[in-house]
Amino acid sequence: MNQNKEPNPPILIVGMARSGTTLVSHIFGSTKNVHIEIEPHALWKTGNFKYLSDVEFDITDEIVSRIRSKFTKDLNGKTLIEKSPINSLRPEMVHAVFPDAKIIYVDRDPVRCIYSNYIRSVHKDSFKLSLILKKYFVYTGSHDLSGAISDRKLFQQLAVADLPDFVRYTIRMFSLRRKGLLPFGPKLKNFVNIVKTKGLLAYHVDVYMASMKCKEIYKDLYGDNFKVFKMEEIMNDPEQTKSLLRFVNIPFTEDLVKNIYSSFDTKRVTESIKSNAIDNEIIALLQSQFFIEH
């Protein structure tokens, strides 16, 4: 038997940073026979480290083959589940690599999502050394993903041919972080100029707008294999977990769903919907782009 054969279509969790994609990953971590990849950004950047942004990339047969082969190697009968916030802006690349995937798109209240990204930018969490070490070298995540999460480290994601561009990319990113010009989350084209001219808060509104446009592209590309779930509904309604698992054909029991739901951090749920002083400013920025009405 070919142990590397994918038993089921890959399941990709897509959504803007801070939208609830990690929450969905943890739901899958409670199920059986899954292989979860958490934010393998370096792998998705294969052949494209010459671009600082996440919306610029070359799609070639070689790049697509290299990315897919690393993801699907040694699955040993498990279903591949992957989540990377940068893919909220990369539907064409994702579809080129995994045209057969099921797409779970996670939405969150736009004001709360933008605020959460903004705060992470203020704290300079992008390219923060402690987070890089945790993400790419010593995973210290919660126990519910134990045995399901990939242990793929940074240098297992990188190809030798990418090393020179990767080094240059990393140096430039650290330099921008030091100058306060590196926003958290996916990077738009010319993100440095946007941050300089419009500020961090307006930048994250722009990212949200871009992600909503890409959401429609995902819908067009994947059709019935695309479904939207809202973070707030997942956290407050166990039926949403059932709907999510049914969509990707993963079996579950009532006890499993109860255990998943009871494992949610109630304090974090409360904090996730808490209003903040700059909410009206975010709403005004969104309204100025004709995105939402209040």
pLDDT in tens, 38-49: 889 999 999 999
- Hey, what domains does the chain have and what are their CATH numbers? 11-288 (3.40.50)
Residue 77: its pLDDT value, please?
Answer: 87
Confidence category of residue 132, pLDDT binned at 50, 70, 90? low
Q: Is the pLDDT of residue 151 over 70?
A: no
Residues 6+ apart with CB under 8 A from 17: 85, 88, 117, 120, 184, 185, 186
Residue 45: its pLDDT value, please?
Answer: 96
Instruction: Please tell me the distance from the alpha carbon of residue 225 to that of residue 227, in angstroms, as a whole number.
Output: 7
Residue at token pair 């292989």: 35
Lowest mean pLDDT among 138-152, 159-173, 178-192, 214-228: 138-152
Q: Is the pLDDT of residue 190 over 80?
A: yes
Q: How far is CA 290 from each of CA 15, 183, 197, 286, 293, rounded to the nearest angstrom?
A: 21, 23, 21, 7, 8
Residue 137: its pLDDT value, please?
Answer: 53
Determine how many CB atoms are found less than 10 A away from the CB of residue 128.
16
Q: Is the pLDDT of residue 127 over 70?
A: yes
Token pair listed for 273: 């919907």
Lowest mean pLDDT among 103-117, 118-132, 230-244: 118-132
pTM assigned to the model: 0.89
Q: Is the pLDDT of residue 293 over 70?
A: no
